[in-house]
Structure 1
Amino acid sequence: MTKAKKHNPLSYLGWLGLVGVVGTNTGDWLLQLFLIYFFFFIYTNMPADELFWMNVRKAGFRAFIFEVAANSLILVIVAVLEHIKYISADMVTLVMRLYLISFVAAMAIFIAMLWQINRQERKYMEE
């Protein structure tokens, strides 16, 4: 009997990319940013061993630090705009978009760092 192949749990995040497809069909560019989640399907056949999870932690920490810095900057912008009494409906929309863009940027950093760490790991294994 053959053993069923177990998928990497990180690959299930790729299904969030379907929200981006909905955004493409509706023309909403904020939802189109979810297309970045399709990159997680790359990890479907990658074994989820301890080294892989250590690499996920490294990449996640770097993305977390970026997200904290970006959110702090957005909060400073909101505080300054609120102090000068310039909050309107357009500003609320702008702040929401800034948060979404910072989240997508952090996700892109996570994916890029994880890809780079895995590439370096393969390079060291070949040598």
Structure 2
Amino acid sequence: MNKHTKKNPLSYLGWLGLIGIIGVNLSAHGAWILQLFLIYFFFFIYRNVPADELFWFNVKKAGLSSFILGLIINNIVLITLAIFESIGGNQDATKLIIGMFLISSFIPLLFFIGILMYYNRQEKKYVEKDNA
């Protein structure tokens, strides 16, 4: 195998974690939401993973699962916000909307990362089993 293979393009998403570091530095000013971007550093794990057909197949499976989960969560968030609006919102409506948005954004991302790590771990098990 060539030692100078291209880096896995999925690893470039790890650079979005720098936004999280900015959030850590600005946390005293209310930028705590930016700290959630630290989760993107997990994508640096895939820097040395070869981007072959099996890897992209695993990415597609994990992406479909997290997309469906995201749709379900987004619908729950919309229903919850509609019910809250019909009851009558108050000063905490903005905090509720921000919290619901964070839930609907980052839970599918965490789910995608977890499933992709699981699939890659299973792939390594099968490769080690075949080599033994």
Q: CA deviation at 1:29?
A: 2.1
> Offset of 1:91 from its aligned partner?
0.8
Kept in 1, the 8 Å contact 2:77–2:104? The answer is: no
2:79 to 76, 89, 107: 76
Q: After superposition, where does 1:29-40 map in structure 2 within 5 Å?
A: 29-40=32-43
Structure 1 segments of 4+ aligned residues over 6 angstroms from their partners:
none
Corresponding residue number in structure 1 for 2:62: 59
Other-structure match for 2:98: 96
- Pick the aligned partner of 2:117 from 115, 118, 122: 115
* Alpha-carbon offset, residue 42 of structure 1: 0.7
Q: Which runs of 5+ in 2 are unaligned?
A: none
Secondary structure in structure 1 of the residue aligned to 2:6:
coil
Residue type matched to 1:98 in 2? M
**CA deviation string 1:62-94 (max 9, x = no partner):** 1111111111111001110111222x4531332
Separation in structure 2 between the aligned mates of residue 54 and residue 66 of structure 1, nearest angstrom: 19
Secondary structure of 2:88 counterpart: coil
1:122–1:69 distance in 2 versus 1, CA, 3 Å: same
Paired residues of 1:30 and 1:97 also in contact (CA < 8 A): no
Q: Which residue of 2 aligns with 1:23?
A: 23
Query: Which segments of 5 or more consecutive residues in structure 1 lack a partner in the other structure?
Result: none
**Matched residue SS, 2:92:** helix
Query: What is the aligned length?
Result: 125
The root-mean-square deviation of aligned C-alpha atoms, in Å, is 1.6
Which residue identity does 1:29 align to in structure 2?
A: W
Partner of residue 50 from structure 1, selected from 24, 29, 53: 53
Deviation at 1:4, TM superposition (A): 4.3
Relative to the length of structure 2, the TM-score reads 0.87
The amino acid that maps onto 2:46 is Y
8 Å CA contact retained: 2:15, 2:40: yes
In structure 1, distance between residues paired with 2:9 and 2:99: 29
The residue identity in structure 1 corresponding to 2:38 is L
